[in-house]
Amino acid sequence: MTAAQSVVVLLLGALATASAAEETVPIAGAKPAGEQRLSLVDVLVSVREHYPLLAAVLEEQALADARLLSKQGAFDLRLGAGSKLKPEGFYETYQGDVFVEQPTTLFGADLFGGYRVGSGDFAVWDGGEETNDGGEFRLGFRLPLLRNRAIDSRRAALRKAEIEVDAADPVIRESLIDFSRSASFAYWEWVASGMRVGLAEQLVALARERQSQLTRRVERGALPTIDLADNERLIVDREVRFIAAERAFEQAAIDLSLFLRDAEGEPLTADVAMVPVEFPTEDRPDSEEVADDIARAHAQQPLLQELAFLERKAAVDLALAENQMLPDIAISIAGSKDVGDPAKSPDDKGPAVLEAAIKFDLPLQRREAKGEAAVASARLRQIQLQQKYARDRIAADVRNAMTALRAAYDQVSLARKNLELAQRLRKAEERKLLLGTSNLINVNIRELQAFDAAATLIATQADYFRALANYRAALGETDAATALSVDLGGS
């Protein structure tokens, strides 16, 4: 196979894609061997497992869990104790008290209980502090009847923290979509740059092969010596192009190394031997599926899910503000029982005691509560308007991404046809040169036209797969999700 034919095989993409069957790079291990081809799946797996910014975003879940744990602390069981001694004075007394209190999420009720002991000489007006020698046990509860019954500040904070735990998932998914798209862009640029290096190398090889042919013809006297110098100039010019292509590839490999990492998370630089032989086969976009894809995007896009969680949090704020406008009416019921012998006979405090109390409180103007309710209502309306615009924006993004993908597909088809014509003209010009009816200038022009046509095909193919990555991102998907069927937590 000649060098020119190798270019055609490399760039026309005549064979079906073998990306699903090709050997993938062991990203989690050592640097891949040079003969192994790097696939997009390899890069996306590396992003999922080792990309530092994704690891940082994943901490959002840990932060949300920690905030939830903190808000749950408002319902921790509380233990308290105290004592008071009067060892000297007219009344010598000893008092000790241990109590527990358990806030609950059930109707805002608080349960409490405890044990106390009081002994010594109490004044008449302090007689209630005295207990039998076995002490006094007590148990009771407090229950709000209007304000704080359905919700209070503690339960509101807890509910919002629970929402934030769920809301961490779309934040993570949104970042994964963005990182997947960026990694895909970097990968396809790396592939295109690597193929351009091969193309430039083939162009140099053509000129060098011709130099050998021209040398033999000059030696036979069939051509003037100046043709050798002219072709040598072409070799130098093409070597300059080759060096520029190598530098562009090195830059693309460095950019890709931000996403391609080893098991320790260190960047890996993929060399040119790892570039795939050809692009995968392009699929013709189906514009008739846009309506269904928009519906999928509305269901999958993390932005709409984030706004839905914000709406839930705003609803909690509104419920709390409306709660604060209600009268604060609460009842408390407690029972106590002394045990043991009476401390001062015959004042036995043995019979059980049952106490009930009711409390009423209502700020007459309630401006603070009204203001908070107005703020929460406005915030809800604001989020609902943002949701409407987000749905419109997502639909527009899907349509734009589809038109870009369709245009990219058409450009690939035209670029492939353009390359076929340029190669046909190049071969015809080479035959004319062999017959002596052409010259090096014309041959060089035809070869550079074929080179430009091949480079254009590479560029359009890379644009197509970047457009495909952008379309998947518009749908709220990632290439990783499509290629690996990974669980993204609700996609």
pLDDT category of residue 36 using cuts at 50, 70 and 90: confident
**What's the average model confidence in pLDDT over 149-163?**
95
The predicted structure's pLDDT at residue 211: 83
Classify residue 75: in a domain, yes or no.
Answer: no
The predicted structure's pLDDT at residue 23: 29
- Name the CA radius of gyration of the chain, rounded: 40
**What's the average model confidence in pLDDT over 181-194?**
96
CB-based contacts of 260, cutoff 8 Å, min separation 6: 27, 38, 42, 43, 46, 267, 268, 270
The predicted structure's pLDDT at residue 22: 30
**What's the average model confidence in pLDDT over 29-56?**
78
Residues 398 and 343 in one domain: no
Comparison of pLDDT for 81 and 133, the residue scoring more: 81
The predicted structure's pLDDT at residue 244: 95
Within 13 Å, how many C-alpha atoms sit on residue 276's CB side? 30
Residues 391 and 279 in one domain: yes
Identify the weakest region by mean pLDDT among 203-212, 237-246, 305-314.
Answer: 203-212
The predicted structure's pLDDT at residue 249: 96
Residues 234 and 102 in one domain: no
Q: What is the pLDDT of residues 364-389, one digit of tens each?
A: 888 888 999 999 999 999 999 999 99
- Given a cut of 50, whether residue 297 has pLDDT beyond it is yes
Residues 438 and 336 in one domain: no
The predicted structure's pLDDT at residue 295: 94
DSSP structure class, residue 318: H
Q: What is the pLDDT of residues 244-293, one digit of tens each?
A: 999 999 999 999 999 999 988 899 999 999 999 999 999 999 888 899 99
Tally of structural domains, the chain: 2
The predicted structure's pLDDT at residue 7: 36
**What's the average model confidence in pLDDT over 6-12?**
34
Classify residue 489: in a domain, yes or no.
Answer: no
Classify residue 371: in a domain, yes or no.
Answer: no
Classify residue 376: in a domain, yes or no.
Answer: no
DSSP structure class, residue 234: H
- Given a cut of 70, whether residue 303 has pLDDT beyond it is yes
**What's the average model confidence in pLDDT over 113-121?**
86
Residues 38 and 174 in one domain: yes
Average pLDDT of the chain is 85
Comparison of pLDDT for 351 and 448, the residue scoring more: 448
Beta strands in 180-301 (DSSP E): none
- Given a cut of 80, whether residue 306 has pLDDT beyond it is yes
Residues 393 and 472 in one domain: yes
Q: Give start and end residues of each alpha helix (H) in 17-111.
A: 40-50, 52-72
Tell me the C-alpha distance between 44 and 23, whole Å. Answer: 15
Classify residue 321: in a domain, yes or no.
Answer: no
Q: Which long-range contacts (CB under 8 A, 24 or more apart) does 339-344 make?
A: 339/132, 339/134, 339/135, 339/136, 339/137, 340/132, 340/133, 340/134, 340/135, 341/132, 341/133, 341/134, 342/132, 342/133, 343/119, 343/130, 343/131, 343/132, 343/133, 344/130
Classify residue 294: in a domain, yes or no.
Answer: yes
Residues 332 and 474 in one domain: no
Residues 440 and 473 in one domain: yes
**What's the average model confidence in pLDDT over 101-116?**
94
Which CATH number goes with the domain that contains 464?
1.20.1600.10
Token pair 């862009």 in the structure block, residue: 185
Classify residue 85: in a domain, yes or no.
Answer: yes
The predicted structure's pLDDT at residue 344: 63
Whether pTM > 0.85 for this model: the answer is: no
Instruction: For residue 280, say if its preceding peptide bond is cis, omega within 30 degrees of 0.
Output: no
Name the token pair of 133: 């020698």
Domain that holds residue 471: 3-68+156-310+381-484
Q: Is 46:38 a contact under the CB 8 Å cutoff? A: no
- What 3-state DSSP class applies to 279? coil
Tell me the C-alpha distance between 179 and 49, whole Å. Answer: 12
For the chain, how are helix, strand and coil distributed in percent, rounded to 5? Answer: 60, 15, 25
Residues 241 and 166 in one domain: yes
Name the token pair of 305: 């899910």
Residues 160 and 146 in one domain: no
Classify residue 170: in a domain, yes or no.
Answer: yes
**What's the average model confidence in pLDDT over 400-412?**
96
Residues 286 and 231 in one domain: yes
Percent of the chain topping pLDDT 90: 63
What are the φ/ψ torsions at residue 32 (nearest 5 degrees)?
Answer: -65, 155
Separation in Å, CA 79 to CA 72, 97, 258: 17, 11, 53
Name the token pair of 312: 């839930």
The predicted structure's pLDDT at residue 19: 29
Residues 243 and 343 in one domain: no
